[in-house]
Amino acid sequence: MPELINILVIGDIIGRAGRRALSEHLPRLIDQHRIDFTVANGENLAAGFGLTRKTAEEMFALGIDVLTNGNHCWDKREFLQLIDEDSRFVRPMNFSTQAPGRGWTMRETPAGHRIAVVNLIGQVFMGPWDCPFGAADRALREIPSDVHAILVDMHAEATSEKMGMSWHLDGRASFVYGTHTHVPTCDEIIHPSGTAYQSDIGMTGSYQSIIGMKVEGALARMVSKLPQRFEAVERGATIFATKVGIDPATRRCRRIERIRVDPD
């Protein structure tokens, strides 16, 4: 088997708890698993809602190469400018054409392998976005043909829509994976044409919570049907991530492995 590119994909990082967990464990994980490239979903970095320059720089300093986004992309107004200044950020390709930033980016590993990262957002139960399937096709037409791997973050609610995207891109993308639900799935698979798939990477945040938020506020809203303030849990995060091994000559995935690091 040829030398593979080892890529680590981290699910939605939730606030301070998620950032703390990664600061404690990510450098070791990168070394232990011989990771060449790391991508994470950063739309919940800043107290669970959006991201800031400071929180993003914390993640880049730890070894994350690209931060993807989702429906909380614009929760922090400073990001509207920041995303245009730094190619390490992407936002969903099927956002409005008036949105700042880019829907895909390309970065190089230290060994010179070019990795393209595409960000999409689902339509089912999510919002009136443009069609993610058409946006995915457009991204793949724009990406240079000589890249060594293509990763696709499908930020979506419905597993059927995520699965549909993986079959739509089978043989064209290296790894199509879901984010957004904050719940890890154990359905990782490699499709016949070499595209890996997982319905949701899962959040890097506290699981003693309701999808990363303090139970009191989230539960009160469910019970009372009244507005409540959501606050991210600040300690005790579990890291969920997935490692894929990509053949740079074919862009096919050869290995896929879920990774979990529980709080101390």
Rounded distance between C-alpha atoms, residue 24 and residue 19, angstroms: 9
Give the whole-number percent of the chain exceeding pLDDT 70.
99
Rounded distance between C-alpha atoms, residue 215 and residue 235, angstroms: 14
Rounded distance between C-alpha atoms, residue 263 and residue 93, angstroms: 34
Q: What is the per-residue pLDDT across 124-174, written as a single tens digit (0 to 9) for each?
A: 999 889 999 999 999 999 999 999 999 999 999 999 999 999 999 999 999
Domains of the chain, earliest start first: 5-261 (3.60.21.10)
Rounded distance between C-alpha atoms, residue 250 and residue 248, angstroms: 6
Residues 158 and 185: beta-carbon distance below 8 Å = no
Start-end of H helices in the chain = 15-32, 53-62, 79-85, 132-142, 159-168, 215-224
Residues 124 and 157: beta-carbon distance below 8 Å = yes
Rounded distance between C-alpha atoms, residue 21 and residue 10, angstroms: 12
> In terms of residues, how long is the chain?
264
pLDDT at residue 212, as a whole number: 85
Q: Please calculate the CA angle 107-201-211 and round it to the nearest 5 degrees.
A: 120
Q: What is the per-residue pLDDT across 39-64, written as a single tens digit (0 to 9) for each?
A: 999 999 999 999 999 999 999 999 99
DSSP-assigned beta bridge partners for residue 241: 10, 259
Give the sign of the dihedral formed by CA 150, CA 156, CA 160, CA 164: negative
Among all residues, which ones are annotated catalytic? 72
With a cut of 60, say whether residue 240 has pLDDT above it.
yes
Among 171, 113, 164, residue whose Cα is nearest residue 140: 171
Task: Determine how β-strand 66-68 pairs with β-strand 104-108.
Answer: unpaired
CA distances from 145 to 116, 128, 139, 262 (A): 10, 31, 12, 39
Q: What is the per-residue pLDDT across 171-190, written as a single tens digit (0 to 9) for each?
A: 999 999 999 999 999 999 99
Start-end of H helices in 86-158 = 132-142
| Least confident piece of the model among 61-75, 145-159, 217-231 | 217-231
Helices (H) and strands (E) in the chain, counts: 6, 12
Half-sphere exposure of residue 200, counting CA atoms within 13 Å on the CB side? Answer: 19
